[in-house]
A and B are shown apart, each in its own frame.
Chain A
Amino acid sequence: MVSVSMNVNGKPASGEVEGRTLLSAFLRENLKLTGTHIGCDTSQCGACVVHVDGKAVKACTMLAAEADGSEVKTIEGMANADGSLGVVQQAFQDHHGLQCGFCTPGMVMSAAALLSENPNPSEAEIREYLEGNLCRCTGYHNIVKAIMAAAGQDVSKIAAE
């Protein structure tokens, strides 16, 4: 067992884990932050994406111990201080960028990371960036549209939302 401590969503969090415990399991099981989802066992679905020190990371590919001392942000930390939805979250609701909600935490975390790297991405750049995030429900149309809207682009010309 190893002790890990990190800052999660602005609050200190620590625990005793096995060396093989994944960050995703630490968040879900030790910290009860169940918004981070597990959709695969081959690091390909992106349902588990969180931010570690400001970078989008698949939490199922990182050991909890590796995140020791890091700043971690999960979907639970994305709302505004007053509890209202953050810009990306709000855009997903406004443009129906989610259906069952299972891929959504990972999508929102990836989208937020993209926008911090590239505040005004093109449709093609968004689609390429989402290469590691699978959604089975939306056909991606409204996810891409929501991210364009979150970037401040006019999406009213894009067909049906």
Chain B
Amino acid sequence: MPKDGGIGASSKRREDVRFLTGKGRYTDDINIHGQAYAYFLRSEVAYGKINGIDTSVAEGMPGVVQIFTAKDFEGAGGIPCGWQVTDRHGQPMQEPKHPILAEGFVRHVGDPIVGVVADTLEQARDAAEAIDVDITEIDPVLDMRAALADGATKVHDELSSNLCYDWNLGNSPEEAEQVMNSAHHVTTLELTNNRLIANPMEPRVAVGDYSIANDDYTLYTTSQNPHVIRLLMGAFVLNIPEHKLRVVAPDVGGGFGSKIYHYAEEAFCTFAAKQCMRPVKWTSSRSEAFVSDAHGRDHVTTIRLALDENGKFLAIHTDTLANMGAYLSTFSSSIPTWLHGTLMAGNYTTPIVSVNVKAVFTNTVPVDAYRGAGRPEATFQLERVVDKAAREMGIDPVEIRRRNFITEFPYATPVAVEYDTGDYHATMDKLLELSDHAGFEVRAAESKANGKLRGFGISHYIEACGIAPSNLVGQLGARAGLYESATVRVNATGSISVMTGSHSHGQGHETSFAQVVAEMIGIDEKQIDIVHGDTANTPMGMGTYGSRSLAVGGSAIVRATEKILNKAKKIAAHLLEASEADIELKDGTFTVAGTDKSVAWGDVTLAAYVPHNYPLEEIEPGLEETAFYDPANFTYPSGGYGCEVEVDPETGKVQILSFTAADDFGNVVNPMIVEGQVQGGLAQGIGQALLENCAYDENGQLLSGSYMDYTMPRADDVPMFKVDHSCMTPCTHNPLGVKGCGEAGAIGSPPAVVNAVIDALQRGGHDVKHIDMPLSPDRVWMAMNS
């Protein structure tokens, strides 16, 4: 394949034209004739008992169609959690009901209590203001340690405590303790992983529609995985069989995890559409998004690392409290466990790794996956404690990592995963080269002369992507399979529609997936279209998250295309009157080996649909194949990240001077798209490290409830990035040899930034060992001056 198309080409994105001309079709752009509007009256208090709801005045107000409370949903199920974690005693996690509208209690600010449907949004809002909800406030449970204390108020009365589960992975705590007791050195670090809000720029939207003619429902929604929503909402919440429920996720304006989950508003609009016999639309305001989109991170951790006198790692022991919020969101329980504990070996040969996680209910918005999901939390604590240990032992941070790198693969870690391949010295070398590490001291001296403190920080991450082998995750508690699907439909004249269960909301699948098929067949990628986002015309698939789309969804496309090629070869052999074994395919033409006989792709596809001269006794007409691909293992992208900062000692302000990412993603289909994914992830990771923080006050009120208080990274907060993916150790178990690139930037960058700031401060003579993120000027200044 020429390199202006196919695998390895930076093909320009075909989706860009509609986005650049205002022709994208996002959910809020969809309006159905006769639609009504939903508005939710949400809790203004963090915890309270509902004594009564008086809707009588509101019901008579202009335009009001119907008003819903929990009573109207008595026949419906709660919003399900997709992952049953088993605790260290073999018991299932505690799993409270998550109702669509609050039942008896409100449990976080933003918890929906009443849903009003009216002719216009203004009328719905006006009516909601006339509703009287009588609530007796209860002191909220906010701090995780206090939540676990004996006698603490319970977030859910029906549970035995606020502990969702107490979970162990890897070596026993006793084994780790023994090593700690006799080790040459033990480094301890207590840290928090700050709570974040995903903030895709498009707020969530749901439009429910019901057709009495066919007794079927359609939901348009801002989702990363329409099939998952159909399954969860249809089977567990509203009792609608799949053939009567269509879920469409059209153009979606970013997700970053927050649009994976099934949300109450989706079920509400679908249900209300039938009750009101009108389409019902809900569009989240940004303020509403802050209190209703699932949040991310929010861990409190103590990690200890035992080392011998040469800086070899002997054991890791980590204890984490993970905030679940008030209810279990779809993937919430799996994030601190199977997506976090399993990564605690990092890139290192540490023989003993012991992980404990306690998941805790609090009166806050539910917490779930946010870009990286568990893996940033693992990487942050590990790469911070390694850096701290290096400083305590007087070993260079690069050198201490190199002494402990895994170099032989496959490598089975003590925490349940087996890395298939990697070359950590290579990515470290690449990082040092691209960041001009050798020239750092000169630059540091220049900064010093200007009264600034310069520092350099490194992190070397591993992540588990390509989520995930179904039989393995089933054993670990997943209530779903994590395969992906593809249907390749070859049309009579040779053009192709590929229907994928993956979903693209910024990742550029319409371009890169077409490149894969173009490469395999040897035809122009313009002949191939990728169809996604509608359960009515795509095979059941699990959607897009966990950097899985190319590794799992792309592999399904490869498998389906292989089936197409097998059949096409049979047809070609018939047309060429040759043996199938002699048929070769090159640049879209079938030839008979060693002869000049050939038949073009389009002639073979035409024969499949106009089978006049066709081996009908051997094969069916038509050329359409479906494949479901279930991965054999996770994939393990890794990389070396380096951050150079300058700290202003007068103000504590941190400026990022350069950021370098040297990643190993295995093979790469579209380098331009891969680099864009990394750049976006880096800005989010830098945002976490320096700017973003979701904070509650002591009453459980969200302090960071708008863009005035939640500091999103802006263009002048970040530099141009140096991004490289030339170190490639292809994944050994998927057909493309790809590993996934969507989350790396957000996983590897926060510890590099914090390590750089600590380096700058220590070089400046300040004895600062750790600062919790975000490293805002006041926190840095306080650390320097206390």
Contact = CB atoms under 8 A, between A and B. Distances in A.
Interface of A: 28, 33-42, 44-45, 47, 74-76, 78-79, 85, 89, 92-94, 96, 98-105, 108, 123-124, 126-128, 130-131, 133-145, 158-161
A41 B721 contact: no
Given A41-B285, A99-B506, A139 B675 contact: no
Interface residues of B, number: 61
Interface in B143-198: none
8 smallest CB-CB distances across A and B, nearest first, come from: A35-B22, A101-B19, A102-B253, A100-B506, A139-B683, A99-B506, A139-B679, A75-B22
B20 A85 contact: yes
Contacts of B308: none
A39 B20 contact: no
Given A75-B20, A101-B18, 7 more contacts: A44-B707, A76-B23, A99-B506, A102-B201, A134-B712, A136-B684, A160-B721
Interface string B195-213: 0000111110000000000
B134 to A, nearest CB: 28
Contacts of B713: 139-140
Interface in B459-510: 505-508
B684 A35 contact: no
Interface in B695-718: 706-708, 712-716, 718
Given A75-B22, A127-B715, A137-B254, A93 B16 contact: yes
Nearest to B675: A160
B433 to A, nearest CB: 13
A35 B286 contact: no
A47 B201 contact: yes
A126 B15 CA distance: 25
Contact of A141 (B24, B25, B707, B720): B720
Contact of A134 (B201, B681, B684): B201
Contact of B17 (A28, A41, A93, A102): A93
Contacts, number: 192
A138 B43 CA distance: 34
A100 B715 CA distance: 17
Contacts of A104: 19-20
B763 interface: no
Interface string B742-760: 0001000000000000000
Contact of B286 (A39, A96, A103, A159): A39
Interface of B: 10, 12-13, 15-26, 28-29, 199-203, 251-254, 256, 285-287, 505-508, 671-673, 675-677, 679-684, 706-708, 712-716, 718, 720-724, 745
B13 A140 contact: no
A143 to B, nearest CB: 7
A35 B16 contact: no
A36 B506 CA distance: 18
B679 A37 contact: no
Nearest to B19: A101
A135 B721 contact: no
15 contacts: A33-B22, A35-B22, A39-B286, A92-B20, A99-B507, A99-B680, A100-B202, A100-B252, A101-B251, A134-B707, A140-B715, A140-B718, A141-B721, A142-B676, A159-B722
Nearest to B707: A44
Contact of B506 (A101, A128, A133): A101
Contacts of A138: 676, 679-680, 683
Contacts of A143: 715
A76 B252 CA distance: 19
Contacts of B286: 39-42, 45
A124 B720 CA distance: 11
Contacts of A142: 676, 679
Interface centre among A44, A101, A145, A159 (most CB of B within 10 A): A101
Contacts of B507: 99
A37 B253 contact: yes
Nearest to B672: A96
A159 B723 contact: yes
Contacts of B712: 134, 136
Nearest to A20: B122
B21 A89 contact: yes
B22, B251, B508, most chain A CB atoms within 10 A: B22
A139 B683 CA distance: 5
